[in-house]
Structure 1
């Protein structure tokens, strides 16, 4: 039996795929065994190295929780600023006025071409040279600035492509009934484009969350990953244990974010399907009678 996308597998193809699956699982099991045995030989699986994370709260309250708070603070600030700024730049790139469209395009292409780490370093230097921000707060300001400038430019392209992906008839029909350009964008195009853009936007939000670690590695920003380095030194060089716990926290945060986005996307799609008005039988008969009367 065939489908539109592929032909059904024959007996030889099924046997070959089963063989490949078995070989892959065996190779994966061998790799996991090698990793675990190597860690065990190096003493990285000793209970003493993992004990601080399971038998007390000192590691969590002193290192992990403060680092997680700083990570979430920087990520939330960057998201709150970058989302509306990216939307504004994306809409500006679609403007009919050249004096709006060209500067927006220059800003987007410029900051999208620079690595986010370079933007953070420049931000730190600018805050140190031209502002009165204290040395304790400069890393946070620099991290947020770099994340906002870079990710707002990327989000602007997501917004622009999402709006351009809509059929032209949407805008033409709205303008035909008398809506202005601003109303067409706000009431017709953006609500429809949000659902299409949501997966890409969420992917960029995950990038923002992970890129906060660059501030800890270079700018001494005390975020979650930087706290793992300090924590591993305090508990007797339990590097593997510390970074494993931090990696699990990052995975949990990103999984929660993507799960929420998937739920929101499904809800938006259901809402769009159920926006039509439901007419009763009496309403239909009244409408038909009115139509017949006009004829």
Structure 2
């Protein structure tokens, strides 16, 4: 059992990184999305921030410049403040959602600090012991709030699948186990010893309190689970922002994008509708102007 726990602890960060890399590769190979081209773009230069560069005279002769500052700020606001949830969500989940997300961020931060403290042997974690307490408090409040919201709101309940309840309960258990672990005396020292035992591949179950073993095991399973679950929605936002919301480059002849578009136009439509020619290509459907004769 100790060997299995040690392997899970060592492999979980690698599974997380490799899994995310594989997902990014898979998504990058998918067919092109339809661009939204909703202005203003955060990447637009300040002098034309309300519209497209294609509105300018002789835009084709000019260099297409983008403001990188806006492209960094906008994802930052979304990741750490969920400003789109606060602005557009109709069900009032922002308070609980921001609490849950910050609980997760602080949980990752605390585990990173434990690793840094072990490697450097110079960080005094006792001075920032409030971080895991804050993480667990926010995580518990957020998960409970979101579960109750989804149960009690009839409309929101329709959009909530069983896996979403499972994910929230899973996070709730992680935060509860973390609270039980850090509430004990010398829990920080035990966490450092756990890291040392794992890295030296000398983990002994009898040396650690069950709460410590349970919490770290749950967190390691969480790392493995992230790339293959809905928790992966965060990294995927890179494609949503940069390839759908903000991509406004014009089409060039013989570019890789044009080749992809031509390939996709030859896909056959395998569904029916009053405006669709089944088993014909998208290009043939787009050229069909005699819908009334169908």
Q: TM-score, with normalisation over the residues of structure 2?
A: 0.25
Q: Which structure has the larger Rg over C-alpha atoms?
A: 1
**Which is bigger in relative contact order (C-alpha 8 A, separation at least 6)?**
2
Q: TM-score, with normalisation over the residues of structure 1?
A: 0.25
Query: Relative to total residues, which structure has the larger helix share, 1 or 2?
Result: 1
